[in-house]
Amino acid sequence: MILGVNDAEQIGNDLLKKDGIFLDTFIKRRMNNSIGQRKTEKAVEIINKSHIICVFGMSIGNTDKMWWEALVEWLVSNEYNKLIIFWKGFENALEKKLPSKTIRLNDRII
């Protein structure tokens, strides 16, 4: 696991966008490449060889964009591939009585 961002577009400070050490430290793919472990390539290889993938503890935001793109590509490559997403949150919100709120909440989750 590497903490950071998906790409330089997620860095709001223009000075930091030009700092190679900062980029190598905080952009996930660059960090993996600079430490020479090929973890990104190995993970994509594991994804592509799988038929069922369970996601637990992964951001649904832009910080894990490259992984969501890899998972979407994997899903459309074979109709029998299955993705299971475990998520935490919104438990109390699901108890709301108004159907319109439940629909909007489900849309946000999806």
Rounded to whole angstroms, how far apart are CA atoms 8 and 19? 11
Assign 92 a pLDDT band (cuts: 50, 70, 90): low
Amino acid in the structure at residue 97: K
Rounded to whole angstroms, how far apart are CA atoms 79 and 93? 32
The rounded Cα 79 to chain-centroid distance in angstroms is 21
Model confidence, pTM: 0.62
Cβ contact 93:105 at 8 Å? yes
The proportion of the chain whose per-residue pLDDT surpasses 70, expressed as a percent, equals: 89
Q: What is the pLDDT of residue 36?
A: 74
Q: What is the pLDDT of residue 90?
A: 58
Rounded to whole angstroms, how far apart are CA atoms 21 and 92? 43
17-32 pLDDT, tens digit each? 999 989 988 888 788 7
The number of residues in the chain equals: 110
